[in-house]
Amino acid sequence: MDQLTIAGKTYTSRLLVGTGKYKDFAQTRAAIEASGTQIVTVAIRRTNIGQNPNEPNLLDAILPSQYTILPNTAGCYNAEDAVRTLRLARELLDGHSLVKLEVLGDPHTLYPNMVETLAAARTLVKEGFEVMVYTSDDPIIARQLEEIGCVAVMPLASLIGSGMGILNPWNLQIIIDTAGVPVLVDAGVGTASDAAIAMELGCDGVLMNTAIAAAKDPVLMASAMRKAVEAGREAFLAGRMPKKSYSAAPSSPTSGLIAPAKGKAA
Amino acid sequence: MIALTINGERRSFEAPLTVADLIDRLQLADKRLALERNGQIVPRGTYLHERLADGDRLEIVVAVGGG
């Protein structure tokens, strides 16, 4: 059976989903379930201290016993903060070491700062974390992150939350062709076809959040994304037909045609 | 009395105060959280023994929705 393997663990779903931007925990949960995902990302933030002791907790709605919880470093702009955040996350999640690293360079575009990301990755790998790293689609940096010991590289399709889809399939293809670890598209997926295209190119998985949460019907979009990732993966494994520019090849026989009407050549 | 900075807020408590005491005081006892004291993780297993000092800076975090 076709399965995704990350850091020695196998998953049947190749779709990873974020838990942000939903209306409430009920919608989060419904969308997560409809997506069929097994890995969900969470952010790490200060708790309110004493103002609202009954405030519901995300991990009471999305259970660590049911899903692989992947803490991220969203909002971190330097390596030190990202590392501190993931140390806290590992403590929070009872020692689980599979994490998502992202270090941002700009609050407007949310484009990753790859210099700080490389530095954070080195420290985290040394400390025994299994790092799935959000990266630009620079194939050289993707290779360096793999050489550092990251367990997966996650190049952006386009800007976080932009829904622009895959802007540079060529770079993505180079990364896929040269990577020895799983490659997952992370950021910028907008609709189902974007996810299918990523899988058709040969990605091992797709991570998305806004594409589902900001859809008019997030639960329905989650279902669409599930199918899109599956369809794209099957198309990839099936081996697509070659593209032919400037010529056509009929699908129906060219012999046995009835005699053409008067004036038309056979 | 000891003055602590917790999640950016200054709070004062009567000493002695362990991390476990503080968590009770803040009504966080049932929550899944993690705590950093002066830049170092405080493991859950040490909450009962770890005594807080005047001027300590704490970060107490939980998991929230995110991408």
Nearest to B43 among A44, A71, A91 (CB): A91
Question: What Å distances lie between residue A140 and A118, A119, A144, CA to CA?
Answer: 12, 15, 6
Say whether B63 and A89 touch across the interface (CB within 8 A).
yes
Asked if A74 lies within 8 A of B28 by C-beta distance, the reply is: no
Contacts of A12 (CB under 8 A, 6+ apart): A1, A3, A4, A38
Q: How do the domains of chain B map onto residue ranges? A: 2-57
Closest chain B residue to A69, measured at CA: B63
Give the CB-side neighbour count of residue A209, counting CA atoms within 13 A: 23
Answer yes or no: is pLDDT of A266 > 70: no
Render pLDDT for B8-42 as a digit per residue (tens, 0 to 9): 999 999 999 999 999 999 999 989 999 999 999 99
Q: Does the interface predicted TM-score (ipTM) exceed 0.85?
A: yes
Tokens coding A250: 């009929």
Contact at CB, B66 and A59, closer than 8 angstroms: no
| B7 SS3 class | coil
pLDDT at A50 over 80: no
Give yes or no for A96 touching B (CB within 8 A): no
Q: Do A46 and B63 touch (CB under 8 A)?
A: no
How much is the average pLDDT of A102-117?
97
> How far apart, in Å, are the Cα atoms of B61 and each of A124, A159, A189, B7?
19, 27, 29, 9
The residues on B that touch A, with CB distances below 8 Å, are 6-9, 11, 25-28, 31-36, 39, 41, 43-44, 59-67
Q: For residue A43, what is the nearest residue in chain B, using CA coordinates?
A: B66
Strand partners, A18: A41
**Segment A203-209 mean pLDDT:** 98
Instruction: Give the three-state DSSP class for A63.
Output: coil
* Active-site annotation holds for A264: no
H/E element, A26: helix A25-35
Q: Which of A9, A21, A23, A100 is catalytic?
A: A100
CA–CA dist B25, B43 (Å, integer): 19
Which residues in chain A are contacts of B41 at CB distance < 8 A?
Answer: 87-88, 91
The CATH number of domain B2-57 is 3.40.50.300: no
Quote the CA–CA distance of B63 and A44 in Å, as a whole number: 5
Q: pLDDT for A52-82, tens place per residue? A: 777 889 999 999 999 999 999 999 999 999 9
pLDDT computed for residue A105 by the predictor: 98
Task: Judge: A45–B8 Cβ closer than 8 Å, yes or no.
Answer: no
